[in-house]
Amino acid sequence: MDFKELLAYQKAFSLSMQIFQLSKRFPKEETYSLTDQVRRSSRSVCANIAEAYRKRIYVRHFISKLTDSDGENSETAVWLDFALACDYISAKQHEEMFDETKEVGRLINYMIQHPGKFGCNEKES
């Protein structure tokens, strides 16, 4: 299995691409702040899932990278809150993407709680 087959990766990648498309419409003055931050954090969710999967031989590394991914996912949710508060996105867009961050978070936490289902040797400590 490849990390790209993981549902958490697929959903996080899809959300990241939605954010990219939507953030193209953010004001130019946000280029190096909100636009950059929300894009980076959403992409980092995917990158950390991929890295975790490649480190799954070591349970602690797997969980550590997934924890990083979950943190980036939460950061993405905060940037979406700012985008809403600044009127860069609609309440409907915010709700839909915020719900997706919650779903991604649930999937990541499932992976953290069940590393053996993702190829980790749970006897390693």
pLDDT digits 0-9 by tens, 88-97:
999 999 999 9
At residue 1 the predicted structure's pLDDT band, cuts being 50, 70 and 90, is confident
Mean pLDDT of 96-121: 96
Provide the percentage of residues in the chain whose pLDDT is more than 70. Answer: 97
Measure Cα distances from 104 to 20, 49, 71, 82, 124 in Å.
Answer: 17, 11, 11, 20, 26
CA 87 to chain centre: 23
Which percentage of the chain shows pLDDT scores above 90? 92
What is the arithmetic mean of pLDDT over 44-51?
A: 98
Domains of the chain: 3-116 (1.20.1440.60)
